[in-house]
Amino acid sequence: MMTFSRAITLLLTVMLTTAAVKSEEPNSAPNILLILVDDLRTELGCYGIEEVHTLNIDQFAETALLFERAYCQMAVCRSSRLSFLSGLRPDERRIWANEDVRPSMQDIEFLPAHFRNHDYHTLGFGKIAHGGEEDPRCWSEPHQVPENRLYEYRTRAGRALVKKVKHEAAEAGRPDPFRDLPEKIHRGMPWEILNFPGRDTGDEQLADMALAALERVKEKQFFLAAGFLRPHLPFVAPRQYWELYDEDNLPPPGLVSAPEGSPQLISNRSRELLRQYRGLPTSLPLDPETERKLVHGYYACVSFIDAQIGLLLKGLEENGLADNTIVIVTSDHGFQLGDHGMWGKATNFELSTRVPLLIRVPGSKASGKRTASLVELVGLYPTLCEIAGLTKPKHLQGDSFASLFDDPGALLTGAAFSQYSREGLQVTAFERKISATRNGGTASRASSAIEHCLTTGRTHGRRKTSQRRKTTPSMLSDYPVC
């Protein structure tokens, strides 16, 4: 008969042996690669726009779940990013304010920090939050930015033009045209064709930094975020990407003015473009040649960033990480290229609030499929927690859409919410899916004392976007610097 002491000894031996075996097993928890692209519209090949050259993203879409109707919660850089990184809607902590709101969010565990606190090695490169407002609690290593980051906003040609404009004003006895603008937006032309060889732009440097990090941390369980700046203004890209497009044959915007009967209050006045850059007309509309150059520059930047994303995805493969890494490709918001007579974001129109969203989950039955379900970026935080098997913080306000990876055909919700604030008034866009199966064949209408329901669509010479009902009361204000 086995004695009690011998039984205890045997049990301890089994437990220690089991622990030793487990410690030798490779970590089965998935890594995370979050790729953020600034100001990216859904005009990609995989979204049906053949004129745009995005070979790498298109190939990635063949292995990912593509979200056809994903929306940000506020179409401006800081607010959108803080919303989905925190899992909070913009109203919760005044995330819509044009100021650093991190002091009011010290009790909030951001998405990368949550993974860090669950034993992930977290790394951040480039624009993840906004400007220099990265939360150090998010990163296992100090957040890094490319050496040439500021060069992206103030190119050599841009700096030369600023100097010339200032000199001419002084010679003529006129005030400095930049006197009321912060130094960081003393910018020149809104586009530039780069002719120098090598990988010297900030986004190229960022891709190289992220690739080196993948090699360095491949034996760890990691969360790596890479935030590319392009295609944010100014539209700066190497010549080879400009040469992918024939400027004379680029289609113009399909809708060049706001919907008939809509209030002037909905306009962003294109302030980001007209206030921060030179060499342009002082008012709208722009001349056709300038419009074509801007659209050309935007597309060139999209193809440029597509190439950098391709390098990161290739790096995953070469380091043997692709089969155990969840990869997300998305943007903070869209961008209007003359649509409704506006340039930039900071509106509640479809092309500002809708974002590309592609997520690859290794082993998912949704790989290579598409979903028409409405989803919100604020739901990305709980979604990644659910897929990775992490507990979800109680403060999260977005809804997980992880179930779509089991059933891409499901329609999880009938609404997504976007807003834009101006001078303290919260502007809310109510997104309602038009569906006979969900809404009895009619679109529900959100009520408001100052309601303006706009059904927006756009052909851009190619296609019409998904229709949504919108409630867009708004007030005008200066466009925040992004």
pTM, whole model, 2 decimals? 0.83
Give me the torsion for CA of 430, 431, 435, 441, rounded to 10°. Answer: 30
What is the C-alpha separation between 150 and 24, in angstroms, rounded? Answer: 45
CA pseudo-torsion sign 52, 54, 58, 59: positive
Overall size of the chain counted in residues: 482
Q: Residue 162 has what pLDDT? A: 75
C-beta separation of 352 from 40 below 8 A:
no
What is the C-alpha separation between 303 and 256, in angstroms, rounded? Answer: 25
User: What confidence tens digit (pLDDT) does each residue in 285-330 have?
Assistant: 899 899 999 999 999 999 999 999 999 999 999 999 999 999 999 9
Amino acid at 322: A
3-state secondary structure of 137: helix
Q: Which of 214, 216, 215 has the alpha carbon at shortest distance from 224?
A: 214
Q: Which of 49, 89, 33, 165 has the alpha carbon at shortest distance from 418?
A: 89
Q: Encoding tokens for residue 235?
A: 């539209």
Q: Give the count of beta carbons closer than 10 Å to the beta carbon of residue 301.
A: 28
Based on C-alpha coordinates, what's the Rg of the chain? 24
What is the C-alpha separation between 324 and 304, in angstroms, rounded? Answer: 27
DSSP states of 286-309: PPHHHHHHHHHHHHHHHHHHHHHH
C-beta separation of 366 from 406 below 8 A:
yes
What is the C-alpha separation between 204 and 206, in angstroms, rounded? Answer: 5
Q: Residue 353 has what pLDDT? A: 96
Q: Encoding tokens for residue 168?
A: 């001419």
User: What confidence tens digit (pLDDT) does each residue in 131-145 have?
Assistant: 778 999 999 999 999
Give me the half-sphere count of Cα atoms (radius 13 Å) on the Cβ side of residue 274: 15
The β-bridge relationship of strands 235-238 and 191-194 is: parallel
What is the C-alpha separation between 124 and 110, in angstroms, rounded? Answer: 13
Burial (CB < 10 A; 0-12, 13-18, 19+), residue 323, is: exposed
What is the C-alpha separation between 337 and 98, in angstroms, rounded? Answer: 23
List 374's β-bridge partners, or say none: 69
Walk me through the domains of the chain, giving residue ranges and CATH numbers: 28-151+196-439 (3.40.720.10)
User: What confidence tens digit (pLDDT) does each residue in 158-209 have?
Assistant: 677 778 878 888 899 998 877 776 666 667 789 999 887 778 889 999 999 9
Angle at 311 between CA 308 and CA 313, to 5 degrees: 115
User: What confidence tens digit (pLDDT) does each residue in 98-125 have?
Assistant: 778 888 899 999 999 999 999 999 999 9
Q: Encoding tokens for residue 436?
A: 């006979």
C-beta separation of 71 from 376 below 8 A:
yes
DSSP single-letter state for residue 354 = E
Q: Which of 100, 71, 113 has the alpha carbon at shortest distance from 331?
A: 71
Mean pLDDT by 10 residues, the chain (482 residues): 50 42 53 98 96 97 98 95 96 82 91 98 95 91 83 63 82 83 72 84 94 97 97 94 94 78 79 84 87 96 98 98 98 95 92 97 97 98 98 97 98 92 53 33 25 30 32 28 36
From residue 23, give the alpha-carbon distance in Å to each of 19, 26, 28, 381. 6, 8, 12, 29
Q: Residue 279 has what pLDDT? A: 80
What is the C-alpha separation between 15 and 9, in angstroms, rounded? Answer: 10
Q: Which of 380, 231, 317, 316 has the alpha carbon at shortest distance from 33?
A: 316
Catalytic positions: 77, 130
Q: Which phi and psi angles does 44 have, rounded to 5°?
A: -130, 160
